[in-house]
Amino acid sequence: MDWQQLPSVRGGSGFVYKISIIHMSTRVKYSEIHPDFRTERLASFLERAMERIPPFYVVFTDNHMAFTMKYTQHPERKTAFTKKAESLGVIHALIPKGKPWRNGFIERSNRTDNEELFRSKTFISEEERKYDLRLWEMYYNRERPHQGLGMGTPFQKANDQHFCRVANLALC
């Protein structure tokens, strides 16, 4: 899980932030755009993400203060994000400090979003950008072939891994 700073749309000021999570084995991705990345917002995002991607039990993040207090004067304190993860039964794992490539799935996903969506279109409003992100993500998860998945889609992989295991499921 990670957040990415996006420039404001033409005529706006400041920045907005895309918060994303990607399921490591299926590559199913879920993202939202918000005005900030406070720990409370990340916590509520995690809760929504659990309803929208296949089951997971560990969430990897970097060491930003929005995720952890580990490198502050009060390392024993927990952020709202860490508390929410614990309450949901999810292990919050931190990548080693200074090694963003250890969270490579989400970093690559951010790059793909930039190349194939954000840099390819000029948005007229923030609502249009949010709408286009949702459409892009539907395409990314259901139609776009992924080399790392043998040219399959994340939805196909999730269907094979998670949904076909349920007895008498009509989709399989």
CA distance 53 to 22: 8
pLDDT at 46: 95
What is Dmax (Cα atoms) for the chain?
A: 54
Q: In 3D, which of 19, 13, 58 has the Cα closest to residue 36?
A: 19
> pLDDT of 90-136, one tens digit each?
999 998 887 777 778 888 889 999 999 998 888 999 999 999 999 99
68, pLDDT greater than 90:
no
Torsion angle, alpha carbons of 38, 133, 156, 22, to 10: -20
pLDDT band at 165 (very low <50, low <70, confident <90, very high): low
Beta carbons within 8 Å of 167's beta carbon, 6+ residues apart: none
- Residue 163 near residue 172, CB atoms below 8 Å: yes
> pLDDT of 6-36, one tens digit each?
988 877 778 999 999 999 888 899 999 999 9
Indicate the SS3 state at residue 95: coil
What single DSSP character describes residue 96? Answer: P
